[in-house]
Amino acid sequence: MDKQIPASGSGTVPSPPPPAPSPGATREKLLSWSPRRYSVNRFVLVQQPDETKPRPSTVGVLTKGRHHRALVLYLLLLTWWPWLSLRHTPLAAEVWVRALTAEGPGTANALTWSPSTLSRTWGELEELGLVERKREGRLTRIVPRREDGKDDYVAPAGQKKDWYNAYFTLPHEFWTEQHFATLSPAALAVLLIVLKETTKKPDVELLREKMQDWYGISGKTVTKGIQELMAAGLIEERLRWEEDLSAKLGYVKHHHYGLTGVFSTEERAGRRRVARRKRRLNERKKSKKAAQEAKS
């Protein structure tokens, strides 16, 4: 029987490195470092606040410009930012690529990534003013800018009357269920629009003739996005009838759309309530500890 020859200068044979974790395991682990189970995104990601000026914002610009990867990558950056902002060492490109890789059934046509596409996409986001890049040795530190690209990024505080601090939430299931990779640009844009518009109400009417002016995407794109989201079970149509005696039948039909499951208004509000309770509990614990230390 052949004998293994120890490595030079060592009494043991070095073992091969373990296999890299799967994309799914990578996403699950890094998402667990943001325990709220959702990310926050300012309203201005979807729409500008001033009704006297053009209202389309980043979602419309990226969708119309066919920057699908850029929108997905920016959303992931904001999702990870609560812990990534505290990290001393930038993440390697391989981590981003692994986390953005879809696997399993239904992903044959999913968005694909490589180190080169990742680098190119960071470049697109930088040109649009949505990130800043800084080399640190062999790695690159990525820092987000505000969702409209017009200021430095600070986590939104959530004030209701301040459009630049009001936000909507994106559940982590967007990542764990791989919607980030399987939704088309049209479906992703509609999902973000409806998430924003249903922060406080269960559904919204999407007027096709207003979509271009309000969000920067065409009515045709909205129709395509709705159809895809309905096929995926993420959105449902809710018809509303309104009396209009000047109409042929004496009433008119309005098409409203509401998200389902964990994306629904009720479920998202529930997660925010849980996060608020945990935050207040942690604050009380810190205050109690500080008071005890001051007495000692």
Which pLDDT score, from 0 to 100, does residue 5 have? Answer: 47
SS3 1: coil
Q: What is the pLDDT of residues 242-285, one digit of tens each?
A: 777 777 777 788 899 999 999 999 999 999 999 889 888 877 87
Q: What does the alpha-carbon distance between residue 238 and residue 255 come to, in Å, rounded to a whole number?
A: 6
Residue tagged 């810190």 (tokens) = 286
In a domain, 237, yes or no: no
What are 120's two structure tokens? 């190119």
Residue 81 clears pLDDT 50, i.e. is over it? yes
4-13 tens-digit pLDDT: 544 555 567 7
What pLDDT, on a 0 to 100 scale, did the predictor assign at position 1? 46
- How far apart (Å, rounded) are the C-alpha atoms in residues 143 and 152? 9
Number of structural domains in the chain: 1
Residue 125 near residue 153 (C-beta atoms within 8 A): no
Assigned domain for 155 exists: yes
Does residue 95 lie in a domain region?
yes
Q: Which domain holds residue 133?
A: 23-182
Residue 204, domain member (yes or no): no
This prediction has a pTM of 0.89
Residue 120 confidence (pLDDT) above 80: yes
Between CA 111 and CA 119, with CA 116 as vertex, the angle to 5 degrees is 95
Q: Is residue 43 situated within a structural domain?
A: yes
How many C-beta neighbours within 10 Å does residue 42 have? 24
- Measured CA angle at 274 (ends 270, 277), to 5 deg: 140
Does residue 113 form part of some domain? Answer: yes
DSSP string, 143-209: EEB-TTSSSB-------TT-TTT-EEEEETHHHHTTHHHHS-HHHHHHHHHHHHHTSSSS-EE--GG
